[in-house]
């Protein structure tokens, strides 16, 4: 994974840094979100998955991973791949936080919304996320996918 603050880091290092971030100020409220976005380019499809942690009212940090695929032209399939990446990272993250006695709620941010072509996917994607045990946000409230991941994916 990569961080603008810490550079290239392993997933284990991401966990270590997140735990330090929380434990440095344990009395604050934290919000952890995971979201993905993708863009087609001349080489294929670039999928960016972001882990963001906010110390509510005091800023935050984020980490991201980039996966390159053969070009994905089907919008439904692309949204499903983004969601799959987000859920996989969230599951690994949740497991590590529990293992380190620092359980935190993780919210999944999706790059779908009530306007546009992705609107027909809302119930299916939200059902998948909820059945996986996570809360969710869609556009315009899904800043991790629709802002952070979107910017990196371009």
| pLDDT for residue 45 | 98
Collapsing DSSP to helix, strand or coil, 19 comes out as helix
Give me the residue label for tokens 């603050």: 5
The DSSP code for 116 is S
- The CATH classification number of 2-153 equals 3.30.420
Residue with tokens 């080489």: 43
Three-class secondary structure of residue 17 per DSSP? helix
pTM of the model: 0.96
Take residue 24 and report the two structure tokens written for it: 């440095």
Q: What is the mean pLDDT of each run of 10 residues along the chain (154 residues)?
A: 96 97 95 98 96 96 97 97 98 96 95 95 98 97 97 94
Which pLDDT tens digit goes with each residue over 13-43? 999 999 999 999 999 999 999 999 999 999 9
| The pLDDT value given to residue 58 | 95
Give the contacts of 143 (CB within 8 A, at least 6 positions apart): 33, 35, 109, 137
| pLDDT at 103 (0 to 100) | 86
Burial of 31 (0-12, 13-18, 19+ CB in 10 A): middle
Q: Where are the domains of the chain?
A: 2-153
Cα separation of 38 and 111, whole Å?
9
């Amino acid at each position: 994974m990569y961080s603008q603050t810490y550079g290239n880091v392993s997933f284990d290092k991401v966990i270590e840094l997140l735990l330090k971030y929380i434990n440095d100020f344990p009395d604050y409220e934290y919000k952890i979100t995971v979201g993905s976005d993708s863009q087609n380019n001349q080489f294929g499809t670039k999928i960016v998955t972001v882990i963001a942690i906010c110390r509510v009212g005091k800023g935050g940090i984020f980490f991201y991973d980039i996966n390159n695929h053969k070009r994905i032209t089907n919008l439904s399939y692309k949204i499903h791949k983004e969601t799959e990446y987000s859920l996989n990272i969230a599951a690994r993250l949740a497991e590590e936080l529990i293992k380190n006695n620092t359980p935190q709620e993780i919210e999944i941010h999706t790059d779908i919304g009530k306007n546009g072509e992705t609107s027909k996917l809302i119930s299916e994607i939200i059902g998948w996320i909820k059945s996986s045990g996570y809360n969710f946000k869609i556009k315009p409230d899904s800043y991790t996918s629709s802002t952070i991941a979107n910017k990196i994916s371009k």
